[in-house]
Each structure stands twice: as C-alpha cells, then as structure tokens.
C-alpha cells in the first residue's frame, strides 16, 4: 500500500493551489512545494515496487490493465515531478497557471492509475492473499477466461 502517500500528496498539492488562489496566503505555495516534492519521492518508491511486481509475476503481465496502470503511473510521476521542479525556485510564482494545470493533470492521472489498479485488485485478485480453496477457484476461473478468449474454443470442454 505504498500508493496512499503519493495519492494524498497529489490531492494536497491541488488543494494548496486552490487555497492560494482563493486567499493569496504565502503558506499555501510552500505547502504545495513540499507536498509535490514528497509526493514525487514516495511515487518513485511506489513505482520501483510496482515495476518489480510487474516484472516478477507472469500472471500480472498478461493483463492489459497492468500495462495501462503502469503507463498511467509513469505519466503521473512525470507530471508530479514537473510540478515539483516548477515550484523549486519560486513557489508562489509557479502556482498560476502552470502549477494549477499540473496539479489538475496529476489528479487526472491518479484517477486513471487508480481505476486500472482497482481493476487488477478487485476483478483479477492481483496482489490479494487467498486461502488454498479460493486460489483453486481463481485458477479455474482464469483458465475459463483464457479458453473463452481463444477463437473457436468452447467455454466448456465437454461440449
């Protein structure tokens, strides 16, 4: 669950930008600088763990959602890294328009990566600990899905 910090910090960066836009309090650009920096750092750590998991597991590489999730996560890292870099030498000057634009873009990529990551976990049970009975059921369901995906192959081999 390394993704919770980058997600929260991307949201915090956008919130700080919006609060600065509403109040012009100099605290909020500094907050956005730190939130985007730590969001990027924790995102890199989560990306390393996610890449290791993607490359280590054969089952996860077969799912198109895993590649979409990985691509969205890499785009998110690029956006929040750019957002942080933009703010390094002038936090208040960086907010409008590009800081806010990058913060909104980061939130969009959080949504896309989260949606695809959720599909992996909740639909395909990737990264979920299961007991032995549930693992056997899941293996049968996956084999059934693979047979159904092949052209000309009946879902039930007895047919």
Q: What is the mean pLDDT of the chain?
A: 83
DSSP state of 30: H
pLDDT confidence of residue 75: 94
Q: What is the pLDDT of residues 16-39, one digit of tens each?
A: 999 999 998 999 999 999 999 999
Provide the 10 A C-beta neighbour count for residue 73.
Answer: 25
> Mean pLDDT throughout 79-87?
94
Residue 23: partners with Cβ closer than 8 Å, 6 or more residues away: none
Question: Which DSSP state fits 150?
Answer: S
Query: Residue 96, by phi and psi: left (phi above 0), alpha (psi -120 to 50) or beta?
Result: beta
> Is the whole-model pTM more than 0.95?
no
What is the C-alpha R_g of the chain? 20
Q: Over range 145-150, report the average pLDDT.
A: 64
pLDDT value, residue 77: 95
Alpha helices in the chain (DSSP H): 4-23, 27-56, 58-61, 64-87, 91-94, 100-118, 132-149
Give the mean model confidence (pLDDT) for residues 147-159: 58
Residue 158 pLDDT exceeds 70: no
The stretch 99-116 carries a mean pLDDT of 91
Q: Tell me the per-residue pLDDT of 26-75, one tens digit each, with 9 for 90 and over.
A: 999 999 999 999 999 999 999 998 888 888 877 777 777 888 888 899 99
Phi, psi of 26 (to 5 degrees): -65, -10
What is the per-residue pLDDT for 13? 94
């Amino acid at each position: 669950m390394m993704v919770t910090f980058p997600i929260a910090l991307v949201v915090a960066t956008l919130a700080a930008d919006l609060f600065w836009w509403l109040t012009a309090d100099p605290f909020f650009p500094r907050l956005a600088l730190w939130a985007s920096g730590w969001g990027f750092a924790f995102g890199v750590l989560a990306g390393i763990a996610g890449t290791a998991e993607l490359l280590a597991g054969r089952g996860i590489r077969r799912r198109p959602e895993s590649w979409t999730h990985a691509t969205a996560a890499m785009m998110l890292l690029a956006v929040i890294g750019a957002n942080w870099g933009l703010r390094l030498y002038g936090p208040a000057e960086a907010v409008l328009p590009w800081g806010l634009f990058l913060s909104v873009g980061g939130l969009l990529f959080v949504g896309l990566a989260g949606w695809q990551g959720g599909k992996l976990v909740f639909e395909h049970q990737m990264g979920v600990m299961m007991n032995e009975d549930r693992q056997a059921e899941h293996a049968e369901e996956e084999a059934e899905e693979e047979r159904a995906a092949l052209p000309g192959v009946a879902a039930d081999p007895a047919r």
